[in-house]
Amino acid sequence: MDKRTLSLFAALLLPALLLLLPVSGQTYSRKVDFRVLSVLAQIAQSAAIPSAADAAACDPAPRSLSDCEPMTADSLKRIDTVDSDLVALRRTADGDEVVLEVAGFGLTLSPLSEEKMKDRSTRVKTPRFNMVALYKTEVGFNIPTGTDYGGYPAGEAGFFDLRGGKSFHFSTTLVGLNCEIGRQRKFSITTGLSYAVDNYRLSDNSITLAYSDGKVIPQRLDGKADKSKLRTTSLGIPLHLTYHPVRHLTVSLSGYFDFTMGANSIYKSPKKKSSLSGVNDFRFGVGASVSYYTVGIYLRYGVTPLFKSSVGPKVYPLSIGLCIGL
């Protein structure tokens, strides 16, 4: 077997040797593996037997590592002629670097310094505190639960029954602050300023909601309208506790503190909008969501009734739908 064949065999055997040899007592990254394999490819493609000119220029006598010129980390350079020892591993005097000689080529391996490791860690990791915008957007349906018409005549009970699939909820966190918790950053807490719009589409298009004598009442229209609904807008301060059990999977528990900015009774025949009193100025709710990547489902429940006590029917809104961006 000639020396060229031996050098190619040594190049193929080198990855296995690297796995068995401790390099400065540290574990290097796969980027080093890639660089090593790239160098091996260069060695395999090059001629293992030097030309006559190279052989004449080289000192045939074996040279120790201390005689070699300084080499930069992870560099490739011919340091000796091809001799009987095709593969040799030598450590520098200070012990910080290892030179691997294959067929007369020298490959210098050295671990990253602590300063470089700290710099790389700083560049890879994101800050624990960061600003977010449009952090969590919810689009779903409103469902009235626990409805109680106590204090209303029997003939008016059921006036706040809603059309299924026609009562929409939309909310988004406009801007907020996110804080990651834990060494592995699997938990995070997010708060900020949210905006929400809720539409409650009445089943009976022949009535609209009105406020009279300190009470929300159904008011009969002259004829059936195309639609009749209650719309509320609010600003709030959400609080999201998020957990990432596995990569791309997010589980969140939320609390909502909403302040009603407007409440309007709207019917379309033609379209007419009027302000409606009696809606709670402050509403508290809880919710949960599960998402994969940035799309998931949410459930949101109003702990505070929609209407003020003794002003309107006791209604606890429930919303369910899709959430995006968590």
Tell me what pLDDT residue 185 has.
87
- Are both 189 and 282 inside the same structural domain? yes
* Terminal Cα-to-Cα distance of the chain (whole angstroms): 63
- Are both 211 and 190 inside the same structural domain? yes
- Are both 288 and 230 inside the same structural domain? yes
- Are both 21 and 143 inside the same structural domain? no
How many folded domains does the chain comprise?
2
Tell me what pLDDT residue 105 has.
66
For residue 230, what is the enclosing H or E element?
strand 228-243
Residues 6+ apart with CB under 8 A from 5: none
- Are both 137 and 280 inside the same structural domain? yes
Tell me what pLDDT residue 264 has.
97
Which is it for strands 228-243 and 187-201: parallel, antiparallel or unpaired?
antiparallel
Contact 287, 302 (CB under 8 A): no
Q: What are the helix and strand counts (H, E) for the chain?
A: 4, 16
- Are both 101 and 131 inside the same structural domain? no
Final residue in a domain of this structure, among 86, 116, 146: 116
The mean per-residue pLDDT over the stretch 32-38 comes to 58
Tell me what pLDDT residue 77 has.
52
Measured between alpha carbons, how far is 223 from 225 in angstroms, rounded to an integer?
Answer: 6
Tell me what pLDDT residue 44 has.
54
Domain annotation covers residue 121: no
Measured between alpha carbons, how far is 161 from 189 in angstroms, rounded to an integer?
Answer: 37
- Are both 170 and 314 inside the same structural domain? yes
Measured between alpha carbons, how far is 221 from 207 in angstroms, rounded to an integer?
Answer: 5
Measured between alpha carbons, how far is 228 from 272 in angstroms, rounded to an integer?
Answer: 10
Q: What is the pLDDT of residues 46-76, one digit of tens each?
A: 544 454 454 444 444 444 444 555 555 545 4
The band of 300, judged by pLDDT with boundaries at 50, 70 and 90, is: very high
The mean per-residue pLDDT over the stretch 216-231 comes to 92
What's the domain range around 16? 3-116
Paired tokens of 226:
């195309």
- Does residue 149 carry a pLDDT above 80? yes
Domain annotation covers residue 7: yes
Specify the DSSP class assigned to residue 111: P
- Are both 109 and 189 inside the same structural domain? no
- Are both 182 and 83 inside the same structural domain? no
The mean per-residue pLDDT over the stretch 11-31 comes to 50
- Are both 134 and 67 inside the same structural domain? no
- Are both 180 and 283 inside the same structural domain? yes
The partner residues of 266 in beta bridges, in order of sequence, read 229, 273
- Are both 155 and 63 inside the same structural domain? no
